[in-house]
Amino acid sequence: MKNNFDALIIGAGVIGAATGYYLAELGLKVAIIEKDYPTAGSTGRCIGGVRQQFAHPPTIQLMLQSVKLLTEYQKELRWDIEWYQGGYLFLAHSEEKKESYLKTMKIQKEFGLPVSFLSPEECQKIVPSLNLEGLLGGVFCPTDGQVNPFKLTFSYLKEIKKKKGKIFNFQKVVEIKVKNSKVVGLKTDKNEYFSSPIIINCAGPYAKEIGKLVNLDIPVEPERHEAIVTEKIDPLFPCMIVDYREDGCYFVQKHKTGNIVGCYTPIPNIPGHSIDSSFEFFIEMPRRMARLIPPLENVRILRQWAGSYEMTPDGNPILGETPIEGFYLNCGMCGHGLMFAPAVGRTLAYYIVKKESFFPLEEFSLFRDFSKKEVMK
């Protein structure tokens, strides 16, 4: 049969691409079904940060693996994915935030993460133009970094094709076939049928809609987030700068190009699938950046856009099995899909094929207690 595959993946963002890559590495014939084109959704709208600094131990384990995989992937396969370890600097402007960082650092150090709390002056050694007004210090991890979301995703897809896998663009999944509580295939809006005993939901902000096709309630809700990119400028700082104040933001200078990209989390959150841009963000984001790095005040903005975070109640992803045999989830990345992708893709692939897991998979189960929230969202 022409459309008979070992595994079908719904969604050609970085999560679907990574999952497909590792399944293909394990010998499966893979097809990815995408309603638009690769990176059209959240992946192509993210700012490219990769960090291991989390408070949730399984997430730290997951990210230690992701960083290792990115490093090996760029070196061994010689793909220029623009993986660069310039670090992450989380700023503390209050005693409460400082104490929170010191507490989470203890957890992170248990896993060998090279984090340290820096004085304001030490922060300024890493970011020479940093405004120290009101700053109590910052927590820094030098092995965090940045990667190009487009190059990473398309490199995975090219590797899948090398292993006889296929990518089907502009085909929306409209039906998932289930027999005797097992998935057997799916149908698209092009009236094409694809047969497989394994279907993986990597649909990002549309994961909930895909779940409805098998009468499964997946607690993933989209939220709108906006971002900007500046013109290219001379190097100012190597790391992602994170300011968690109510009117804070986070941004990074791209190591290869010199552009600065950044965003912030709106208060209140903006639920829904809308990815319209706002004038408020266009005015507010540059102000927040220049408050931290005054030389940015006169830097020109090239472009502004919006995209969706796919949020879960506790701020952690959903990964693994469902009550329907052969139907798996790899979704709900809460704005961290790019950085999670190598680890969650590999982990789910190995679990499906070999029933092996590299960290406590039950911590990311659909059936977990969602009341324990991630502190360092």
Q: What is the mean pLDDT of each run of 10 residues along the chain (377 residues)?
A: 91 99 98 98 98 95 97 88 98 98 97 98 98 98 98 97 97 98 98 98 98 98 98 98 97 97 94 94 97 97 97 95 98 98 98 88 92 68
Q: Is residue 369 domain-resident? A: no
pLDDT score recorded for residue 170: 98
Are 229 and 254 contained in the same domain? yes
Q: Is residue 227 domain-resident? A: yes
Are 329 and 307 contained in the same domain? no
pLDDT score recorded for residue 376: 63
Give the helix/strand (H/E) hosting 351.
helix 337-354
Specify whether the backbone of 258 is left (phi greater than 0), alpha (psi in -120 to 50) or beta: left
Of the three residues 266, 294, 311, the one that is the final residue of a domain is 311
Q: Is residue 52 domain-resident? A: no
Are 239 and 291 contained in the same domain? yes
Q: Is residue 377 domain-resident? A: no
Q: What pLDDT digit, counting tens, does each position of 297-320 carry?
A: 999 999 999 999 999 999 999 999
Are 174 and 209 contained in the same domain? yes
Task: Give the amino acid at 320.
Answer: G
Which residue range(s) make up the domain with 179? 7-47+149-220+314-364
**CA atoms of 85 and 87, how far apart (whole Å):** 6
Are 131 and 169 contained in the same domain? no
CA geometry: angle at 269 spanning 264 and 272, to 5°? Answer: 110
CA geometry: angle at 148 spanning 147 and 149, to 5°? Answer: 105
Are 31 and 173 contained in the same domain? yes
Are 202 and 295 contained in the same domain? no
pLDDT score recorded for residue 77: 79
Are 301 and 328 contained in the same domain? no
pLDDT score recorded for residue 377: 61
CATH of the domain at 91: 3.30.9.10
Are 165 and 303 contained in the same domain? no
pLDDT score recorded for residue 314: 93
**H-type helices in 88-215, by residue range?**
95-110, 120-126, 149-162, 207-212
- CB of 302 closer than 8 Å to CB of 45: no
Q: Is residue 76 domain-resident? A: no
Count of domains in the chain? 2
Q: Identify the sign of the CA torsion 365, 367, 368, 373.
A: positive
pLDDT score recorded for residue 76: 84
Of the three residues 296, 311, 326, the one that is the final residue of a domain is 311
Are 319 and 290 contained in the same domain? no
Here the tokens at position 179 are 């027999």
Q: Is residue 173 domain-resident? A: yes
pLDDT score recorded for residue 1: 53
Cβ neighbours for 3, distance < 8 A, ≥ 6 positions apart: 31, 192, 193, 194, 195
Q: Is residue 57 domain-resident? A: no
pLDDT score recorded for residue 375: 60
- CB of 52 closer than 8 Å to CB of 117: no
Q: Is residue 199 domain-resident? A: yes
CATH of the domain at 338: 3.50.50.60
For the chain, the average pLDDT equals: 96
- CB of 139 closer than 8 Å to CB of 92: yes
- CB of 138 closer than 8 Å to CB of 123: yes
- CB of 247 closer than 8 Å to CB of 256: no
Nearest-Å Rg of the Cα atoms of the chain is 20
- Residue among 172, 169, 159, 200 at smallest CA distance from 320: 200
pLDDT score recorded for residue 374: 67
DSSP 39: T
Are 90 and 13 contained in the same domain? no
Of the three residues 311, 331, 352, the one that is the final residue of a domain is 311
Are 127 and 193 contained in the same domain? no
